[in-house]
Chain A
Amino acid sequence: MIEQLKLWVLGLAATALLLGLADALVLQKGMKRVLRLAGGILLIIVLLGPLGRLGGLELGGALGDYQAAVEQRETELRLEQEEELSAIIETDIGEYIWDKAQEMGLDVTVSVATRMSSGGVPIPDRVRIEGAYHEELSQWMAEELGIEADQQIWQEE
């Protein structure tokens, strides 16, 4: 599109320069009038010519590419944002569970994985606990945090 724009402007400038030169060379008044009329028509044709060739196809292609680039960038930015938020939520929920485990006298290591809900919010998906299985803690997680037993992975150290 830029190339076409450049060619159009250069063509217009070249036509104007040539007409100016021709006007300077022709001395007879009658011929000058004819030349100016023909030159004016030629200039209008050169000015409006590219509009007929555009047809919306190449312009549409360029706009389509741009739109795709915008959507891709938006997706990248949303992913970055989700990753940042997920990291914080995973840390916080992990610490919450660990605090509760400490209250119960358990020595465990907790790591949480989240997934995006339909509303675009990270929610806990799985919990990996390194330590002996503890039923009370498991039930607490299911009731308090909505992390059911099948979402809990217990690994004895």
Chain B
Amino acid sequence: MKRCVFALLLAAFLAALLVLPARGSDLAGEVEAAAPEAAQGLSGDDFSGGLSAIWEQVREGFGGLLRQGLSGAVQLLVVLVLCGIGETVFVTVEGKRTFNYLSLAAVAAVVAVSAGEVDQLIGMGVETIASLEQFSKSLLPALAAATAATGMAGSAAVRQMATVLFCDVLLTVIHRLLLPFLYVYIGALAAGAMLGDGRLEAIASLLKKAIAWFLGVLLTLFTLYLSVAGAISGAADAAAVKLAQKAIATAVPVVGSIVAGAAETVLAGAGLLKNTIGIFGVLAILATCALPFVRLGIQYLLYKAVAFVAGTVAPPGLVKLIGGLGSAFGLVLGMVGGCAMLLTISVLSSLLAIQG
């Protein structure tokens, strides 16, 4: 009798090993197939290997991105220095600092030099956000299914739907509000530099703060909601598990042993699957954002550096314009980072969730 039960439990374990890898490899395979191009070749079984691969990718691309950024920065610096020299000559000749067409020309030159880069980088930011959104449509359901199989169906549903909702809100607001605000911000900066109007600069500053504030508030709300809702649904899941354990205990002994054994092997396999999908998800998000982050970060730092260096020779309005354009890159970085953080928080929350 005991040998039969043991044999049956062993059969259950082996059957589960056959069933779960088939289903698990389906789920994991779907997520890997849907991953963005930058994440191809990564694996959920090797986190440190994945990080090394991403680091190599960044290291190889860094030189080229820096050279690209430096070329634009040098052009800006030349414009600023020439403008500074021109304005000094003008003031010396005219004897006073007044409105002159040199400022208009200088701002137009700065905008002409940086317009291409600004447009390209905003476009790159939008593409990265779109890639993340597309990837999340495979990652979130697969992670929810794997998490549910560990006995946390309630928490898995809450995490997935909350992430989808907040992602939708963030993407809609980015496309319809924040990106238009960003262009208005750049326009206000340029107009303020041309006219020397402090109020336009104040409006630009307000827009910048509004964009940064919105991103920060949304992420904070999402994290808070996930923590609270996750805890509540986690408690409900734990209650459901206790009820199931009681049902197993009161079942016919042989049937109870089979059910318990099957549940244990499902749990173990699902735990592994959840970790594999979750780790791959985090690596894919990092890989997708790595080069865009580096590029935007380089542009932000270079523009701030140019503003700092040219601060001694160029007119203050132009220096503020350059600094403001650097901040625009920072805002795009913030938007991309916001989307990446939202997904990463959701994935990590699933990975770290432990059945009560």
Contacts and interface: CB of A to CB of B under 8 A. Distances in A.
Given A73-B144, A81-B148, A16 B255 contact: no
Interface string A132-157: 00000000000011100000000000
A89 B258 contact: yes
Contacts of A84: 19, 23, 149, 266
Contact of A9 (B15, B177, B199, B246): B177
B247 A85 contact: no
A80 B200 CA distance: 57
Interface SS of chain A = helix
A87 B19 contact: yes
B138 interface: no
Contacts, number: 132
B153 A78 contact: yes
Contact of B262 (A16, A76, A85, A117): A85
A69 B164 CA distance: 11
A89 B244 contact: no
Interface in A1-37: 2, 5-6, 9-10, 13, 16-17, 20, 23-24
Interface SS of chain B = helix
A28 B334 CA distance: 42
A23 B199 contact: yes
A2 B19 CA distance: 44
Nearest to B252: A146
Contacts of A92: 8, 11-12, 15, 258, 261-262
A77 interface: yes
A119 B262 contact: no
B108 interface: no
B156 interface: yes
Nearest to A66: B165
Contacts of A5: 173
Contacts of B162: 70
Given A84-B149, A85-B262, A88-B19, A16 B252 contact: no
Interface string B251-262: 110110011011
Contacts of A121: 244, 247-248, 251, 259, 263
A119 B244 contact: yes
A117 B19 contact: no
A119 B248 contact: yes
16 contacts: A5-B173, A24-B197, A73-B144, A74-B153, A78-B148, A81-B151, A85-B263, A85-B266, A88-B15, A88-B16, A89-B12, A91-B19, A92-B8, A95-B8, A117-B247, A118-B247
Interface of B: 4, 7-8, 11-12, 15-16, 19, 23, 144-145, 148-149, 151, 153-154, 156-158, 160-162, 165, 169, 172-173, 176-177, 181, 184, 197, 199-200, 203, 206-207, 210, 240, 243-244, 246-248, 250-252, 254-255, 258-259, 261-263, 265-266
